Amino acid sequence: VLAAAMKVADAEGIKAVTMRRLAADLGVEPMSLYYHLPGKDALLDGVVDSIVAEIGLAIGRGDDEAREGWQPALRRRCLSARDVMERHPWAPGLIGSRTTIPVSLFAYYEAILATLVGGGFSYHLAHRSLHALGSMPLGFAQELFSPAAAGGSVEADAAEADLAELAETMPHLTAMVAAELHDNAEDPLGWCDSRAEFEFTLDLLLDGLARAGV
Amino acid sequence: VLAAAMKVADAEGIKAVTMRRLAADLGVEPMSLYYHLPGKDALLDGVVDSIVAEIGLAIGRGDDEAREGWQPALRRRCLSARDVMERHPWAPGLIGSRTTIPVSLFAYYEAILATLVGGGFSYHLAHRSLHALGSMPLGFAQELFSPAAAGGSVEADAAEADLAELAETMPHLTAMVAAELHDNAEDPLGWCDSRAEFEFTLDLLLDGLARAGV
DNA sequence: ACCTGAACACCGTTCAAGT
DNA sequence: ACCTGAACACCGTTCAAGT
């Protein structure tokens, strides 16, 4: 049913997921879908549910969570989630643009909360921690600008061509790019969102939270 | 021209910003717009430019930046940007969903980079800092799920009603909500994204970066 | 119970044509 | 230089009707 939606999204981006397109793939008339689903929003909610479920599978048992402590446990979870997002580059954009919160997400965050509380967090600090971590438990971070996560195709930005002329007006930016010039420019989750950046930010937050009062 | 677009977005949300609607507001035929603009993407890029410009105005001179140091300077900037986002609740969603990077943003980040480098950051750490801060210099943070930032109208999520039945299966979540129950539930930037949460996360990151090697 | 067909009310965009 | 009109190719969705 919505496995077809995932397949289309993986193959051609989330923008190609349309009622009519989906019906055609399923060899059925477009309007038949409305018997099974209330509408497109329900479809997308279902896709998000599938993603969350996939994250749950990717994490594994975690029976040794009590042994390793909250910080490595959360770290493992976020990095596992990131693997899932790497398989579905359109997912961050979809999740970020949803206007309703699927129920499956509540269960997911309940598990994270259990980890935090089990690690000695007060509910107050746990709440702030969830805000601070943002979408990292879902495997992605808010990028400065993340074309891949947002739309679908990563087209060369128009400004790239003019970057040469703008060089002298923006000395620091050009210097930084020159100094950094990533070897992983084709990262699927957006500009520079390499695993290294993700881990740096994640550890920055986790260490900060550890210092904040546990 | 695109001041009209901002007005429509402020009044009825970004989803109401449509070529035809805009033309009607301007007392003109829909297709006249294509003489002035290449298409809708150009329009939205222009709106983002306007937002960035508004952030620039909101920040003020900052002549005493050298005196106050990079950390308070960046802090002031992020909080000023947040004020702008509060005036345009649709802006985070629009910015996050854009697939091209408007040129104005380069200049904006150039200024931030100048602050960091001036504060003693290496280009490498400055780069990581930009990633870690994410969208905070733009005045918003990636929320767990931010209906307001994403779509437009903040409708009551369907799961809210079932929360009572789910209480026993999610003890920590219900306990946390009960313990926290915000007095500012009607915050325009999404669930719980109050100024206090924003500042907590911001300081967590800034302090972490300060400790990371400057 | 499940699917179909025709229709409605919207989009963004093209293109030849007006003044 | 600036605007118009009609048309095209798409959407999501409704609704009465088929089997």
- Tokens matching residue B123: 């280009």
**CB-defined contacts A:B, below 8 A:** 194
Quick check: B195 CB within 7 A of strand C? no
Q: Is A176 on the interface with B (CB under 8 A)?
A: yes
Query: What does the pLDDT read at residue A146?
Result: 60
- Say which of A98, A109, A176 has its CB closest to residue B150: A98
Rg of chain A over all Cα atoms, to the nearest angstrom: 20
Over range B7-22, report the average pLDDT: 95
Query: What does the pLDDT read at residue B156?
Result: 42
Among A183-187, B35-39, B72-76, the least confident range = A183-187
Q: Do B132 and A204 touch (CB under 8 A)?
A: yes
Over range A92-116, report the average pLDDT: 91
Residues 69-108 of chain B with CB under 8 A from chain A are: 93, 95-103, 105-107
Among A76-90, A105-119, B172-186, B197-211, the least confident range = B172-186
Rg of chain B over all Cα atoms, to the nearest angstrom: 20
Residue/partner pairs of A109-113 with CB below 8 Å, 24 or more apart: A109/A137, A109/B144, A109/B173, A110/B169, A110/B170, A110/B171, A110/B172, A110/B173, A112/A74, A112/A77, A112/A137, A113/B172, A113/B173, A113/B176
How many CB atoms are closer than 10 A to CB B28? 11
* pTM of the predicted model over 0.85: yes
- Tokens matching residue B146: 């931010």
- Say which of A113, A123, A173 has its CB closest to residue B106: A173
Query: What does the pLDDT read at residue B158?
Result: 46
Between A140 and B168, whose confidence is greater?
A140
Asked if the model's pLDDT at residue A66 lies above 90, the reply is no
- Say which of A100, A102, A166 has its CB closest to residue B147: A100
Among A146, A178, A150, A163, which residue's Cα sits nearest to residue B107?
A163
Q: What is the DSSP letter of B212?
A: T
Tens of pLDDT along B73-128?
999 999 999 999 999 999 999 998 888 888 889 899 999 999 999 999 999 999 99
- Say which of B103, B157, B200 has its CB closest to residue A128: B200
Query: What does the pLDDT read at residue A149?
Result: 56
Contact B9, B90 (CB under 8 A): yes
Contact A13, A90 (CB under 8 A): yes
Tens of pLDDT along A17-50?
999 999 999 999 999 999 999 999 999 999 999 9
Q: In Å, what is the CA distance from B32 to each residue of A150, B21, B36, B39, B193?
A: 29, 12, 7, 11, 40
Q: Do A141 and B142 touch (CB under 8 A)?
A: yes
Asked if the model's pLDDT at residue B148 lies above 60, the reply is no
Average pLDDT across chain A, whole number: 86
Q: Is B31 on the interface with A (CB under 8 A)?
A: no
Over range B168-179, report the average pLDDT: 87
Task: Mark residue A199 as left, alpha or beta (left: phi above 0; alpha: psi -120 to 50; beta: remaining).
Answer: alpha
3-state helix, strand, coil in chain A (%, to 5): 65, 0, 35
Torsion angles phi and psi, residue B203, rounded to 5: -70, -35
Asked if the model's pLDDT at residue B16 lies above 70, the reply is yes
Q: Do A97 and B93 touch (CB under 8 A)?
A: yes
Q: Is A49 on the interface with B (CB under 8 A)?
A: no
Distance B76 CA to C10 C1' (A): 44
Distance B31 CA to D8 C1' (A): 14
Distance B145 CA to C3 C1' (A): 36
- Say which of B128, B153, B179 has its CB closest to residue A124: B179
At residue A187 the predicted structure's pLDDT band, cuts being 50, 70 and 90, is low
Residues of A in contact with B102 (CB under 8 A): 159
Q: Is B120 on the interface with A (CB under 8 A)?
A: no
Q: Do B100 and A147 touch (CB under 8 A)?
A: yes
Query: What does the pLDDT read at residue A158?
Result: 46
Distance B201 CA to D6 C1' (A): 55
Q: How many residues are listed for chain B in this entry?
A: 214
Between B15 and A149, whose confidence is greater?
B15
Positions 12-31 of A with beta carbon below 7 A from strand C are: 28-29, 31
* Residues in CB range of A135: below 8 A, 6 or more apart: A92, A95, A96, A141, A142, B142, B143, B144
Between B98 and A78, whose confidence is greater?
A78
Contact B44, B98 (CB under 8 A): yes
Q: pLDDT above 90 covers what percent of chain B?
A: 63
Specify the nucleotide whose C1' lies closest to residue A32 (CA): C3
Q: Is A205 on the interface with B (CB under 8 A)?
A: yes
Query: What does the pLDDT read at residue B193?
Result: 77
Quick check: B39 CB within 7 A of strand C? yes
Q: Which nucleotides of D are covered by protein (CB under 7 A)?
A: 2-6, 10-15
Please name the residue whose C-alpha is nearest to the C1' of nucleotide D15: A31
CA angle, residues B204, B140, B209, in degrees to nearest 5: 25
At residue A103 the predicted structure's pLDDT band, cuts being 50, 70 and 90, is confident
Dihedral in degrees, nearest 10, Cα atoms A77, A80, A85, A87: -160
Between A64 and B6, whose confidence is greater?
B6
Over range B16-23, report the average pLDDT: 96
